[in-house]
Amino acid sequence: MATITINGDAYTLPEGEKLNAIQAAKLCGVEIPYYCWHPALSVVANCRMCEIEVGAKDPATGEIKMVPKLVPGCQTLAKDGVVIVTDSAKVQEHQRMIMEYLLLNHPLDCPVCDQAGECGLQDYSYHFGQATHRFVEERTVNPRKDVSDAIQLNQDRCIMCTRCVRFTREITHTGELHVMNRGNHAEIDVFPGVPVDNPLAGNVVDLCPVGALLDKDFLHTQRVWFLSKHESICTRCATGCNVSAEENRGSLWRFKPRHNPHVNDYWICDEGRASYKEANNPALLASMYVKKAGTPEPVAVDQAVAATERGLKDVVARGGAVAGVLSPFLTVEEAYLMARYLKSLSPQAVLALGPVPVSGGDQTFAPDKTTGRTGDTSFVVPRPFTIRGEKCPNRIGVSEVLAHFEGEVIGWESLLARVQKGEFAALYVASDALDPAFDEVAAGAIRPRVGFLVVQDTHATPLAQVADVVLAGATFAEKAGSYVNADRRLQYAEAALPPRDGSLPDLDLFAILLARGAGPVRSREVLAEVAEAIPAFGVARGGVVPPFGVVIATTPREGADAGGAAVGGPAVAESGSRFSDPWTTVWRDHGGRKRI
Amino acid sequence: MSDFEPILTRNWNVPDGDTLKVYESRGGYQASRKALTTMDPDAVVGVVKDSELRGRGGAGFPCGLKWTFLPKDRKETLLCVNGDESEPATFNNRLLMEKDPHQFIEGILIACYATRASTAYVYLRFEYIKAYRILERAVAEARAAGHLGKNIYGSGFNLEIWLHRGAGAYICGEETGLIESLEGKRGWPRIKPPFPAIEGAFRKPTVVNNIETLACVPHILERGAAWFKSIGTPKSYGPKLYCVSGHVNKQVCVELPLGVTARELIDVHAGGVWKGRKAKAAVPGGISMGLLSAAELDVKLDFEDIRKTGCLGLGTAAVTVLDDQTSIVDYLYNTSRFFAHESCGQCTPCREGTSWMYKTMKRIKSGGGRLEDLDILQNMSNNLGIMPGTTICGLADGAAWPFKNALAKFRPEIEEYIRTHQDPSRRITPLQAAIASGVSADVAVRHSLTVLGSAPAPAALHSADGGNRP
């Protein structure tokens, strides 16, 4: 157990991790400003913002011996006996000097800069800088340029922290970005004809502490202080990256990654980053439909729900078989309520997993401690990042629910075969995402064989167009709930947007069908029920999911020993704090509202 | 001084002194043969350590001590020879390579044996094409004669020397910048630790030595540590190649015991200040080391005494003389231009500070100086470099020291220059001053219009090249 002294106070650090002074001080509530340091990248100590006074305490005599010069905090190991001073006149004078230097050639165009509001230069200017400077010479103005079709580089705003360069070298190993020229003419650039083109390219924008690297998709669309951030999960693949879904005026404007060391580390892929757009798609279903005299007609929500219930109950009353298709885009809670509803209608109802979209194989970026690295890598804990070929968020979670109700997981193909044999009088398809499987061919194959077809979706898919009832469900952004990723990690996503007019979140639809009683249904309460009902989800007892998620137990499959030793690892709720650069959050000592 | 026998330069004026035949006929490769065949590597390190040979590259770090920092359990060691002699006015390494390449190769051989390095990279300054060709031939000669290659002298020791030409940057003379450049990367110095001895070129334990340091090694082996310590001054032992340039009658590179005074160098060896003038100041060892005033020329040029004058150190021992008609403003303008151009752009204080200093000097020189500029320059130079801990490498110290010394020793002259060299068109405008001091822009504009009336158009605050590309 390490005891360190920060500004005269002794603190005890937790065991285990190798921390530098910035991390250790943060744990103790002391802010050491920095720009170039990032926990996933090697330490180069070139911004010189984190310089502190460092000393060592003699354990025997208690005498403190200080290093005579300033030392970068990013490279100072917080080991037992270290003495750190972050608030001395010397340190403060140095911080003022660095802020003055950094702003010498900076255009100070905050009013038109997208980074304003989440900018390291702005925040630190207020806290560590000064309102004036002594520079009266001509500024060096480095050019603005594009480094890819999606990313713009305003070199005049750049502070040469080289985080972006290190990212492309150390994490993606693609190395598109580099530094050219010297001195204050140094520029970040790409080689001619070689743009920043890798699946993680967008992360360089997030890494940039200033407004130099900009996402053209977000450029000049929103001032960041108007955005409400919602802790969401990307639904684009089975990795389940933690994202912040940022909303204003009823639209999503961007995804930003949230740190989760067990899932996505600090990154998201470009495909996931762009997937926020689906929430704003003007083609989303704006109403529910019931087929009247062969034509779907828009109806009120309650009429559509009533039509669904009536149709299904008719089929059951006439002894017809009912089948339900649970899309892997549904949350665990939705899948559970849907399964309960259909089983409550008819215990013989067949539940199947919807089509699982797969596109290519998994793509893993596996940084290590040496490849592409420069500088001090002793603090780096390399963690891989995988983009899954399985392009849905919750196959495992829905499968666990199905296995609980059905004893097995019936795949889409086998259900489709049974549908085509005319086995079912009623089919209830819940989809919630643009699923190419529900195309004209599927519609043509299914429709003539099913007496009563309910489609719950967000788009008017070919299958929805021929359905008897179309229920307009929620997009990923409009619903809260939990997903189980490819590593069996259960993660909870908040809703970022209210339900669209004419639609209802799927969970509410199922709750109404189940007649769960008055008041809106809460996903946390349903999750608590799931945790009680299905052993695999026992780790989410009380509907509580830890911030970094939790690994669910493995359900013994049919044929396996019922007492099964095949239970997943211990359900330890991993602790640890979520890393974010200070400029991306509101400073707590401003007493301001907390954004995240 | 007459009894001093030149050691490092003894083959310089011998016909064909750069060939293996002549070198061997004058006792060459005896020290390496002795070391490889009769001595243990650690014993060689011991002898060099005992000689207290200090690195000739600039910082004066004890060479033998550096070799002992290598990890004991290392699998592979690399030796990088720093031949990126880029300090202005320094040319002793060039002569060492061009005139006596085999002495240098023998030094590499012994150093590699002592550090158990079987690969040596010679990082040569790009401009040294002649030295490169001479070394290329000399390495081939040495390999053919069995001084390099496999199983040298039957000792089982192997060594290959690779010559590598740099790409023309001052910063690549910094040891970690050199290593990065050697690896094919941009010559950006690395943060230490890890020091090169632990993790250097290609992440292997690496020794980086200067050419002159290695040239001393065969002689120490041959004549012993006691002989070496009999030359020079306390803590600064051995012979040293001094370069004298600038306003002297004869620009020379001369071998002398460490501790010769600047005045002796100028008057005796360089034939005195040119045109019958007096020296106003002298740069003691490459421009990054600072400035000696005329009154300080009697200081001993060794690793210790020179610091008493406020200079950074001995550096490369390249003395540049400024005569009494040279303006210190010109000197500062030139040094600051050099460092602004050569700053690698990595650390904030150096990247921004060197160009700020240069721009300020440019303005002062052209007639727009203010007395308060000197306080700003003083403040900047106090806070720049590894000495106050604000940069990774020492380039910023080198940029700061000329200002520190000049402002301490010649401030009245600079102030006088500012007072007497005023050009209204070069003065900073009230608008520029207002922007710097944070007055809101509209007030500033009104202010400048009323005060200046028909003043020249203010120099653009933004221009494509910032007006300062050196």
Mean of pLDDT values over A37-52: 95
Contacts of B188 in chain A (CB under 8 A): 46, 179, 374
- Shared domain check, B299 and B211: no
Contacts of B460 in chain A (CB under 8 A): 138
Contacts of B386 in chain A (CB under 8 A): 69
For residue A352, give the DSSP letter.
E
Q: How would residue A575 be classed by pLDDT, with cut points 50, 70 and 90?
A: low
Query: Is B2 inside a domain boundary?
Result: no
Q: What pTM was computed for the model?
A: 0.91
The answer to whether residue A72 neighbours chain B at the CB level (below 8 Å) is: yes
Query: Is B12 inside a domain boundary?
Result: no
Query: Is B11 inside a domain boundary?
Result: no
Residues 79-108 of A with CB under 8 A from B: 94, 97-98, 101-102, 104-105, 107
Q: What residue type is B360 in one-letter code?
A: T
Query: Is B3 inside a domain boundary?
Result: no
CB contact under 8 A, B191 and A139: no
Range of the domain at B290: 236-322
- What pLDDT score was predicted for residue B2? 54
CB B281 within 8 A of CB B335: no
- What pLDDT score was predicted for residue A558? 44
- Shared domain check, B245 and B185: no
The answer to whether residue B354 neighbours chain A at the CB level (below 8 Å) is: yes
| Backbone CA torsion sign across B332, B334, B338, B343 | positive
Whether A560 shows a pLDDT value over 80: the answer reads no
Whether A589 shows a pLDDT value over 70: the answer reads no
| Bridge pairing between strands A71-72 and A51-57 | antiparallel
The answer to whether residue A120 neighbours chain B at the CB level (below 8 Å) is: no
CB A466 within 8 A of CB A452: no
3-state SS assignment for residue A406: helix
| Backbone CA torsion sign across B65, B69, B73, B78 | negative
Residue in A101, A133, A186 nearest the CB of B345: A186
Helix residue ranges, H only, B280-366: 328-342, 348-363
Could you give the angle at which helices B348-363 and B328-342 cross, rounded to 10 degrees? 150
Mean of pLDDT values over B184-201: 92
- What pLDDT score was predicted for residue B441? 53
| Bridge pairing between strands B157-165 and A469-472 | unpaired
Q: What residue type is B168 in one-letter code?
A: G
- Shared domain check, B243 and B212: no
CB contact under 8 A, A138 and B462: yes
CB contact under 8 A, B351 and A186: yes
Whether A576 shows a pLDDT value over 80: the answer reads no
- Shared domain check, B272 and B223: no
Q: How would residue A16 be classed by pLDDT, with cut points 50, 70 and 90?
A: confident
Query: Is B207 inside a domain boundary?
Result: yes
Query: Is B454 inside a domain boundary?
Result: yes
Whether A133 shows a pLDDT value over 90: the answer reads no
Contacts of A75 in chain B (CB under 8 A): 191
Length reported for chain A? 596
The answer to whether residue A76 neighbours chain B at the CB level (below 8 Å) is: no
CATH number of domain containing B360: 1.20.1440.230
- Shared domain check, B179 and B35: yes
CB A421 within 8 A of CB A554: no
For B101, phi then psi, to 5°, come to -65, -30
CATH number of domain containing B240: 3.10.20.600
Whether B456 shows a pLDDT value over 50: the answer reads no
Comparing CA positions, the residue from A123, A162, A169 lying closest to residue A370 is A169
Q: How far is A328 from chain B (nearest CA, A)?
A: 47
The answer to whether residue A60 neighbours chain B at the CB level (below 8 Å) is: no
- Shared domain check, B252 and B152: no
Instruction: Name residue, tokens 């006929």.
Output: B25
* Dist CA B286 CA A300 (whole Å): 86
Mean pLDDT for all residues in chain A: 90
* Dist CA A179 CA A155 (whole Å): 11
CB contact under 8 A, B436 and A133: yes
pLDDT digits (tens, 9 = 90+) for A139-169: 899 999 999 999 999 999 999 999 999 999 9
Q: Where is average pLDDT lowest: A373-382, B178-187, B401-410?
A: A373-382
* Dist CA A35 CA A119 (whole Å): 10
- Shared domain check, B372 and B269: no
Whether A171 shows a pLDDT value over 60: the answer reads yes
CATH number of domain containing B151: 3.40.50.11540
Residues sharing a CB contact under 8 Å with residue A495, sequence separation 6 or more, in sequence order: A230, A474, A477, A478, A479, A480, A505
CB contact under 8 A, B359 and A186: no
* Dist CA A558 CA A592 (whole Å): 54
Q: Looking at chain A, which residue has its C-alpha nearest residue B362?
A: A137
- What pLDDT score was predicted for residue B440? 60
Query: Is B183 inside a domain boundary?
Result: yes
Whether A311 shows a pLDDT value over 60: the answer reads yes
Q: 10 Å Cβ neighbour count for B40?
A: 11
- What pLDDT score was predicted for residue B209? 96
Contacts of B397 in chain A (CB under 8 A): none
Read off the tokens for A552: 């669910």
Radius of gyration of chain B (CA): 25
Q: What are the DSSP calls for B352-414, one per residue?
A: HHHHHHHHHHHHIIIII--HHHHHHHHHHHHT-STTTT-SSSTHHHHHHHHHHHHHHHHHHHH
Of B185, B215, B230, the domain-final residue: B230
* CA-to-CA dists, residue B56 to B105, B242, B260, angstroms: 17, 11, 15
The rounded Cα A197 to chain-centroid distance in angstroms is 21
Read off the tokens for B69: 């920092």
Query: Is B469 inside a domain boundary?
Result: no
* Dist CA B420 CA A371 (whole Å): 58
Mean of pLDDT values over A103-126: 93
Of B203, B230, B257, the domain-final residue: B230
Q: How would residue A517 be classed by pLDDT, with cut points 50, 70 and 90?
A: confident
* Dist CA A368 CA A373 (whole Å): 9
Mean of pLDDT values over B226-247: 94
Q: What residue type is A511 in one-letter code?
A: A
- What pLDDT score was predicted for residue B443? 52
- Shared domain check, B436 and B416: no
The number of helix segments (H) and strand segments (E) in chain B equals 17, 13
Query: How many CB contacts within 8 angstroms connect chain A with chain B?
Result: 144
Residue in B343, B353, B383 nearest the CB of A182: B343
- Shared domain check, B171 and B253: no
Share of chain A above pLDDT 70, in %: 94
Read off the tokens for B350: 């150096």
Of B292, B322, B352, the domain-final residue: B322
Whether A325 shows a pLDDT value over 80: the answer reads yes
Read off the tokens for B445: 């504009």
* Dist CA A146 CA A293 (whole Å): 56
CB contact under 8 A, A182 and B383: no
- Shared domain check, B160 and B59: yes
Total tally of structural domains belonging to chain B? 4
Cα angle at B317 between B314 and B319, to 5 degrees? 115
- Shared domain check, B252 and B189: no
For B90, phi then psi, to 5°, come to -105, 130
Q: What are the DSSP calls for A176-210, one per residue?
A: -EEEES-GGG-EEEE-TT----STTTTHHHHH-SS
- Shared domain check, B242 and B161: no
Share of chain B above pLDDT 90, in %: 87
CA atoms within 13 A on the CB side of B400: 26
Comparing CA positions, the residue from A528, A520, A452, A459 lying closest to residue A490 is A528
Q: Looking at chain B, which residue has its C-alpha nearest residue A370?
A: B203
pLDDT digits (tens, 9 = 90+) for A227-268: 999 999 999 999 999 999 999 999 999 999 999 999 999 999
pLDDT digits (tens, 9 = 90+) for B300-349: 999 999 999 999 999 999 999 999 999 999 999 999 999 999 999 999 99
Whether B442 shows a pLDDT value over 70: the answer reads no
